[in-house]
Amino acid sequence: MTEAIAFTKAQFMQSAPSLHQCPQDAGCEVAFAGRSNAGKSSAINVLTRQGKLARTSKTPGRTQLINFFSLTESCRLVDLPGYGYAKVPKALKQRWDEHLEEYLQKRQSLKGLILLMDIRHPLQEFDKQMVWWAVQSDMPVHILLTKADKLKRGPAMSTLLSVRRELEDGNTAAQVSVQLFSAQKRSGVAELEGVLLNWFVP
């Protein structure tokens, strides 16, 4: 990959309701996944230094489509529909989940998963399922413990170590990394950039 990646130059490409309407499955992309209130869109906006690149809302569950953002001609960031919270009809929620599952299982250009969890409620059941799926698929995962500013330094570090221990107990530590992150304080951005660059330019 010869193209230099500058996250600040990210541009919105398109939204897709299903795998079949996604951009061509070529190059490489990294997807941001997590519960609807985990702060995926905020993390993308802080990473790219663009306040309104990814749509944010005070109402969790507003990201209902698979949203693509180009970094270079062949590298993309993807904002996936949130899971587990959205106040929508059950049939619609089931359809979102099906499209999400299809994307994760069949998208050949997907190189890694950024999994976001509110630091106050880490490793919920669906989060564990996502980690398990990724490990089974040999997909690297980097966990952002978001809203780290909501806890003092001691409790935040304690939660970080606790999550790392749980991952080690589940024999997933070799494939899954984890860090503290705060969109509000813009902390943890450099570490996230480093992980993404390693995936995009191995």
pLDDT: is 3 or 166 the higher one? 166
User: How would residue 86 be classed by pLDDT, with cut points 50, 70 and 90?
Assistant: low
| Per-residue pLDDT at 3 | 67
Mean pLDDT of 137-148: 95
Residue 1: pLDDT band with limits 50, 70, 90: very low
pTM higher than 0.75 for the full model?
A: yes
Structure tokens belonging to residue 144:
């952002």
Average pLDDT value for residue range 159-177: 90
pLDDT of residue 179: 98
> Which pLDDT belongs to residue 190?
97
CB atoms within 10 A of CB 27: 19
CA distance 4 to 6: 6
> Which of the four pLDDT bands, split at 50, 70 and 90, describes residue 88?
low
Pick the CATH number of 7-200 from 2.40.10.220, 3.30.465.10, 3.40.50.300, 3.40.50.620: 3.40.50.300
pLDDT category at 100 given cuts 50, 70, 90 is confident
Residue 191, pLDDT score: 98
Provide the edge-to-edge strand list for the sheet that holds 141-146: 11-16, 66-70, 75-79, 28-34, 110-118, 141-146, 176-180
Residues 6+ apart with CB under 8 A from 69: 10, 11, 12, 13, 44, 48, 53, 54, 76, 77, 78, 79
Query: How high is the pLDDT of residue 111?
Result: 95
Instruction: Reply yes or no on whether the pLDDT at 188 is more than 80.
Output: yes
Of 77-86, 93-102, 104-113, 173-182, the least confident: 93-102
User: What are the domain boundaries of the chain?
Assistant: 7-200
- Side chain identity at residue 133, one-letter code: W
pLDDT at 63: 56
CA distance 85 to 61: 6
